[in-house]
């Protein structure tokens, strides 16, 4: 390998807070937060949303995802049916009017 062109590759702890699971590996990612690992050394820690300890494929369990909150937020922002249909005439009526 040519010296000076590769990123720093160092030990990092990835932590899945949902499953209370962490693992030590090597990565080029860095973090300002640190954690003291089981071996007594301090490593940068990166929090992740999902890992093999919490993914339904690996665990065999379904995980409840709050999609209703996101859908309701969308409806509040853009309206129930969206677009110009909220103005009183339906999309079918507009299409029929355009073909005349």
Q: Which helix (H) or strand (E) holds 36?
A: strand 34-36
pTM metric for this prediction: 0.53
Query: How confident is the model at residue 85, as a pLDDT?
Result: 47
Could you read off the pLDDT of 71-97 as tens digits, one per residue?
Answer: 778 888 888 765 554 455 555 555 555
Cα 8 from Cα 16, distance rounded (Å): 23
Mean pLDDT of all residues in the chain?
A: 77
Contact 40, 25 (CB under 8 A): no
Distances (CA, A) of 48 to 2, 68, 100: 32, 23, 56
pLDDT over 70 (residue 45):
yes
């Amino acid at each position: 390998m040519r010296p000076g062109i590769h990123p720093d590759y160092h030990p990092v702890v990835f932590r899945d807070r949902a499953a209370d699971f962490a693992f030590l590996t090597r990565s080029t990612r860095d973090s300002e937060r640190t954690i003291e690992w089981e071996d007594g050394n301090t490593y940068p820690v990166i929090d992740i949303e999902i890992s093999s300890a919490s993914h339904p494929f690996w665990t065999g369990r379904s995980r409840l995802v709050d999609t209703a909150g996101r859908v309701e937020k969308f409806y509040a922002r853009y309206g129930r049916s969206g677009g110009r249909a909220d103005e009183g005439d339906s999309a079918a009526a507009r299409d029929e009017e355009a073909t005349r």
